[in-house]
């Protein structure tokens, strides 16, 4: 027995299609309106200085390259940053990167691409690293943070930078020269690449400031890395 289609049977799918198309159009238009609103909104001022060690809200801004450092310029209080605790069972001392970067000392460094002036290059400079930092040289430490690969291949990562925040990567705020640790796995070993995950690097810390050919400080801390512990390892 053949059933006769009900009158207006074709209206239901047509109506559903029209409603769906209208809904998609509304969503697209709403997204475009939001994008236009964000593009037309006034840009928020970019804070000066490091994103990792912000001074108090009422503190003066960090001096830029070539600017005189005021006598009352305040750096973060080391007492508010977790100090290294006792070594673990394998002899590694947990040292937070913000703790290493919290010591106050003069660190001449190159300006950004849009601020660089050759006349600002230091003519004569003597690195005066605090004794408290030099005491970490040669110590077995554990540094926690996020890894930025510097030398990688299909076999894994040989050299990488350990930074305390995701903001140091890509388009984030550039950290100061004492706010990263360059880790090297050596000739034979390679580390697993962990993207956007907190990891811990174990090894021997070296406190040896390095400058480029113009005298600018380009690095302070490096590590002869023994191993890298991922977020799901113990």
Domain boundaries, the chain: 12-42, 78-229
Integer Cα distance of 99 and 133 in angstroms: 10
What pTM does this model have?
Answer: 0.59
Q: Which of 133, 132, 131, 138 shows the shortest CA–CA distance to 205?
A: 138
Cβ-Cβ contacts under 8 Å for 7 (sequence gap 6 or more): none
- pLDDT of 118 reads 47
Strand positions, DSSP E, 16-98: 93-94
Q: What is the pLDDT of residue 217?
A: 75
Alpha-carbon gap, residue 100 to 222, rounded angstroms: 12
Q: What is the pLDDT of residue 28?
A: 64
Q: Please check whether residue 50 is in contact with residue 63, taking contact to mean a CB–CB distance below 8 angstroms.
A: no
Contact, 158 vs 224, CB < 8 A?
Answer: no
Among candidate residues 93, 98, 105, 113, the one with its CA nearest the CA of residue 180: 98
> Do β-strands 217-229 and 198-211 pair in parallel, antiparallel, or remain unpaired?
antiparallel
Averages of pLDDT over runs of 10 residues in the chain (234 residues) are: 55 57 66 62 44 44 50 44 72 88 69 44 58 88 91 90 78 77 92 88 91 76 92 74
Where do we find the tokens 């305390």?
A: 164
Predicted pLDDT of residue 210:
80
According to the model, what pLDDT value does residue 56 have?
44
3-class SS at 98?
Answer: helix
Tokens of 173: 């705020």
Domain 78-229 has CATH 3.20.20.480: no
Strand positions, DSSP E, the chain:
93-94, 140-153, 156-163, 181-184, 198-211, 217-229
Which pLDDT score is estimated for 38?
54
> Which pLDDT score, from 0 to 100, does residue 158 have?
92
* Confidence at residue 157, expressed as pLDDT on a 0 to 100 scale: 92
């Amino acid at each position: 027995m053949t059933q006769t289609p009900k009158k207006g049977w074709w209206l239901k799918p047509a109506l559903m299609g029209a409603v769906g198309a209208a809904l998609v159009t509304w969503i697209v238009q709403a997204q475009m309106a939001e994008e236009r609103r964000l593009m037309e909104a006034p840009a928020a001022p970019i804070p000066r200085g490091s994103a990792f060690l912000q001074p108090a809200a009422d503190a003066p801004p960090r001096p830029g390259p070539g600017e005189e450092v005021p006598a009352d310029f305040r750096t973060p209080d080391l007492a508010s940053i977790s100090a290294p605790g006792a070594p673990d069972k394998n002899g590694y001392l947990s040292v937070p990167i913000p703790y290493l970067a919290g010591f106050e000392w003069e660190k001449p460094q190159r300006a950004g691409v849009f601020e660089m002036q050759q006349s600002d290059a230091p003519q004569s400079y003597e690195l005066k690293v605090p004794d408290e930092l030099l005491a970490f040289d040669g110590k077995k430490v554990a540094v926690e943070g996020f890894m930025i690969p510097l030398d990688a291949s299909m076999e894994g990562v040989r050299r990488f930078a350990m930074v305390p925040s995701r903001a140091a990567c890509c388009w984030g705020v550039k950290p100061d020269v004492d706010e990263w640790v360059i880790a090297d796995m050596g000739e034979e070993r390679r580390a697993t690449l962990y993207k956007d995950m907190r990891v811990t690097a174990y090894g021997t810390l070296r406190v040896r400031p390095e400058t480029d050919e113009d005298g600018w400080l380009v690095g302070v801390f490096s590590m002869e890395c023994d191993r890298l512990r991922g977020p799901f390892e113990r």
